[in-house]
Amino acid sequence: MIDANQIKEHMEVRAVDGGHIGTVDHMEGSNSIKLTKSDAGDHQHHIIPLEWVDHVDAHVHLNRSMAAVKSEWISAN
């Protein structure tokens, strides 16, 4: 299981297929990651569950494709 403390503000989030999903704004509670709106095409924050994280190094790597993430994430203001 991923330790949420490994995930820091401004880390890049990447899909399993290598695509850029976004940039971490902050952890939203202990189970979700809120992405910055500045690099989202729709200028909204998006929230993804921690369970989608495969591993963390210099980046946050997800276990889903870019298309899957963008169809399942939650938009938030």
Written as tens digits, the pLDDT of the chain (77 aa) is 789 999 999 999 999 999 999 999 999 999 999 999 988 778 899 999 999 999 999 999 999 999 999 999 999 87
The residue whose two tokens read 């998006």 is: 46
β 20-28/45-49 pair status: unpaired
What pLDDT is recorded for position 72?
95
β 74-76/60-62 pair status: unpaired
What pLDDT is recorded for position 68?
97
What pLDDT is recorded for position 41?
79
Tokens (6 digits) for 59: 């980046």
What CATH number labels 4-76? 2.30.30.240
Q: What pTM does this model have? A: 0.94
Rounded CA gap, 11 and 26, in Å? 9
DSSP 26-48: EEETTTEEEEPSTTSTTS-EEEE
What pLDDT is recorded for position 52?
98
Residue 42 φ then ψ, to 5°: -100, 5
